[in-house]
Amino acid sequence: FKIIRIEECVKYQISENQNNFIELNLPVDPKSFALILDRITTDDIILFSASRDQEIIEVRKLISSLLNREIKNPVVIKKTYEDENYDELIVHTSADFGSLLIDGLIDGVWIESLKHEDKSTLLSFRILQASGSRISSTEFIACPSCGRTKYNIEQAFEDVKKATDHLCGLKIAVMGCIVNGPGEMADADYGYIGAGNGKVNLYKSRDLIKQGIDEKQAVAELIALIKKYGDWKEKN
């Protein structure tokens, strides 16, 4: 892919059948935006770039203008962050991109982290996965646990994750109790739900398949269940 600054579009017509990223810095000035409307071809990808501390709320208005003109090219947002703390980076990137992805307004994210460059790609995939835009790993759902949890849910969650994190596309719920767990595990493919002191029930979707399993055996039983329903793959 080639990245073309919007100013360069003035010099030549963008060629057809070539996937170019056409980059516009936020805030976008009206002249640059008019150029996009005039020069863009169906194969191009629009790249809105924001520097650190810059709000990207303006993107909603710009995308709305594109859609009003029937321009449905993919849109990617690139933003630079300088958070020292990785947890803060997660919060800031999720807040910036999450709602735009969930509303289907953008197609990709480009996180440029000055302090956590090595984790930027993984974080991008996590945000795409959480918003349902691109599934690239197993999805886990868990409750925070409470007084109704009568087994070691923290350990169980770690063990389930370790055993199944290569099953891309599957949703697995680890819940604390059978009172609210089945209802709160949303649309998980498999449920691992506490059922009293040291006991676990296993679900396939919303159907209860195995009851009262000792928690020490429950991860192995979950794997057996996933195999039985044809969703298991060996780790590479």
Q: Which residues would be at the binding site for ligand SF4 (CB under 6 A)?
A: 143-146, 148-149, 175-177, 179-181, 184
User: Closest-CB residue for ligand SF4?
Assistant: 176
User: Residue 119 — φ and ψ, nearest 5°?
Assistant: -105, 0
Task: Output 122 or 179, the one with its CB closest to ligand SF4.
Answer: 179
Q: Which of 234, 82, 85, 215 is nearest to 163 (CA)?
A: 234
Distance in Å, CB of 196 to ligand SF4, minimum: 12
Distance in Å, CB of 205 to ligand SF4, minimum: 17
Task: Output 108 or 182, the one with its CB closest to ligand SF4.
Answer: 182
Distance in Å, CB of 36 to ligand SF4, minimum: 48
**DSSP code at position 28:** P
Distance in Å, CB of 193 to ligand SF4, minimum: 8
Task: Output 120 or 145, the one with its CB closest to ligand SF4.
Answer: 145
Task: Output 9 or 143, the one with its CB closest to ligand SF4.
Answer: 143
Q: Which of 167, 230, 224, 156 is nearest to 193 (CA)?
A: 156
Distance in Å, CB of 171 to ligand SF4, minimum: 16
> DSSP states of 37-100 as a string?
HHH--TT-EEEEEE-TT---THHHHHHHHHHHTT----EEEEEEE--SSHHHHHHHHHHHHHHH
Residue 59 CA, chain-centre distance (Å), reads 19
Question: First CA to last CA across the chain, in angstroms?
Answer: 30
Task: Output 74 or 198, the one with its CB closest to ligand SF4.
Answer: 198
